[in-house]
Amino acid sequence: MGTLKLPKNNQFLLLKQSRFLPFFSSQFLGALNDNVFRNSFVTLITFQSISIFGINHIFLANIAAFLFILPFFLFSATAGQLADKYEKSLLMRRIKLLEIFLMSFAAFALFSQDYLLMLIVLFLMGCQSTLFSPVKYAYLPQKLSASELVGGNALISSGTYIAIIFGLIIGVESINFKSEHQFLLAFILVGISIIGYIVSQKIPHTEASDPNIKINLNIWKETLNIIRYSRKEKIVFISILGISWFWFVASAISIQMPAYAANIIKGNESIVTILLIAFAVGVGFGSLLCEKISNNKIQLGLAPVGSIGIGIFSIDLFFAQPQAASEVVRSISDFISHSQNWRIIIDLILIGACGGINSVPLYAIIQNKCRREYLSRVMAANNILNSLFMVIAVVFCIFLLKKHFSIPQLFLCVGVLNIFVTIYIYSLVPEFMKHLIKLFKRNR
């Protein structure tokens, strides 16, 4: 039960195949748009010190993250039912069409500098992503064999974080508070959404997983139903908890990056970009590395290794105090000219890499172990718990900040907590710890 042997594959060959490339491109462009808008908004409110209803920019960044996450908690149950009931390529095309309308509202909000409308658009973008997510992960096992699941998930994960990198660069660097640049940003948002819709037309047809399902519009009852079902297979539920905990840590750290760059490093928006890119590069690298270091197997032992690594490097991020904190850091070259600051970059890369190593096999376990007709709903349960953990992360961060914890102290708390939670979660299924021990013995 610990490892599922898979024939050797080159995961990049999937990018040449019509069953995967249009789907990959469509979700990549959607992730890119999400991150362009989110990062431009957070950068704008942080470096312009914007407040809404008296809420300052530091807390507003956390609230913005909360509003994007909230739909995953509220509407994932309905999204999972829709994804199991209807043919997935058609659903994806409809969702991509919705994205065009949302990006048009985002463009208007940028033109008018209406920050409240930007928050509303951010919430609606979260709703659109909620609809797409269970379709995305349930599509993979319908078009990929078991031997391709780790590679397919690795490509999706790394592709998402490549989109995050480009979204950071475009979103952050385009906000220099000049109207012509915001016009360009609005054009990019709408343009990407149109290209994504066109690409989605090539996604191949799939069979509906459970066309006879009756949609239960009682959100709370159906949410409890799908979480209850996801708990039937213990290893599936523990995998969901493992993924959710990674999102807790990732959210707690990444949400603080704009304030960390501005208040601790005393840098500008370019420093935000380099810090978040470091984290994203790490996740992408760790995801792609996962298939190779798992020896073409769905390897249970890798998940706790990655999770423990997240804790270690999160703790080290507390000790990596920026050397240039006593002076204003005006550029990336100023930042990287101090050797101590490289420790911050390396810590963020390694936290991300460990996250990729942790999450990719867990997604593959869920897809491999779950019954096909329920997979979208189980992935929706995963999204609900992911979003719940991210909301808890936001509340946790706000609580610590209200108690006058510094951002580095917040990182320390997250790292220590991560180690205890990791030990608890993975001890619930002996197979994880058993194969973790085997993994260490084999590599001694």
Write down the residue that tokens 């961060």 correspond to: 397
Domains held by the chain: number: 1
Tell me which residue of 151, 386, 161 sits closest to 279, measured CA to CA.
Answer: 161
Instruction: Give 52's DSSP letter.
Output: B
Residue length of the chain: 444
Burial classification of residue 327, based on how many CB atoms lie within 10 Å of its CB (0-12 exposed, 13-18 middle, 19 or more buried): exposed
Q: What is the mean pLDDT of residues 203-208?
A: 86
For residue 426, tell me if it sits in a domain.
yes
442: pLDDT confidence band, cut at 50, 70 and 90? low
Q: Where are the alpha helices (DSSP H) in 48-114?
A: 57-85, 88-112
For residue 356, tell me if it sits in a domain.
yes
For residue 236, tell me if it sits in a domain.
yes
For residue 12, tell me if it sits in a domain.
no
Burial classification of residue 236, based on how many CB atoms lie within 10 Å of its CB (0-12 exposed, 13-18 middle, 19 or more buried): buried
232: pLDDT confidence band, cut at 50, 70 and 90? confident
Q: What is d(CA 247, CA 30) in angstroms, rounded to the nearest whole number? A: 19
Q: What is the mean pLDDT of residues 75-81?
A: 88
Tokens of 255: 């949400």
DSSP-assigned beta bridge partners for residue 4: 298
For residue 293, tell me if it sits in a domain.
yes
Rounded to 10 deg, the angle between the 234-254 and 407-427 helix axes is 170
Side-chain-facing half-sphere of 301: CA atoms under 13 Å: 16
Q: What is d(CA 246, CA 111) in angstroms, rounded to the nearest whole number? A: 36
What CATH number should be reported for the domain holding residue 403? Answer: 1.20.1250.20
For residue 9, tell me if it sits in a domain.
no
Q: Where are the alpha helices (DSSP H) in 320-406?
A: 332-336, 339-369, 375-402
Q: What is the mean pLDDT of residues 352-368?
A: 87
Q: What is the mean pLDDT of residues 268-278?
A: 82
3-5 vs 297-299, strand pairing mode: antiparallel
5: pLDDT confidence band, cut at 50, 70 and 90? very low
For residue 36, tell me if it sits in a domain.
yes
Is residue 422 pLDDT above 70, yes or no?
A: yes
Q: What is d(CA 86, CA 96) in angstroms, rounded to the nearest whole number? A: 16
How does 54-74 read in b/e, with b if 16+ C-beta sit within 10 Å?
A: eeebbbbbbbbbbbbbbbbbb
Three-class DSSP category at 55: strand
| 252 neighbors 415 (Cβ within 8 angstroms) | no
Burial classification of residue 223, based on how many CB atoms lie within 10 Å of its CB (0-12 exposed, 13-18 middle, 19 or more buried): buried
> Containing domain of residue 130, as a range?
19-204+216-442
12: pLDDT confidence band, cut at 50, 70 and 90? confident
Is residue 191 pLDDT above 60, yes or no?
A: yes
| 344 neighbors 320 (Cβ within 8 angstroms) | yes
Burial classification of residue 164, based on how many CB atoms lie within 10 Å of its CB (0-12 exposed, 13-18 middle, 19 or more buried): buried
| 124 neighbors 143 (Cβ within 8 angstroms) | no
pLDDT of residue 32: 93
pTM for the full model?
A: 0.80
| 351 neighbors 280 (Cβ within 8 angstroms) | no
**Residue type at 80 in one-letter notation:** G
Task: Give the range with max mean pLDDT: 149-158, 169-178, 285-294.
Answer: 149-158
The pLDDT tens digits of the residues spanning 298-352 come to 666 677 888 889 999 999 999 887 755 556 776 777 787 777 888 999 999 999 9
Backbone dihedral angles phi then psi of residue 329, each to the nearest 5 degrees: -95, 110
7: pLDDT confidence band, cut at 50, 70 and 90? very low
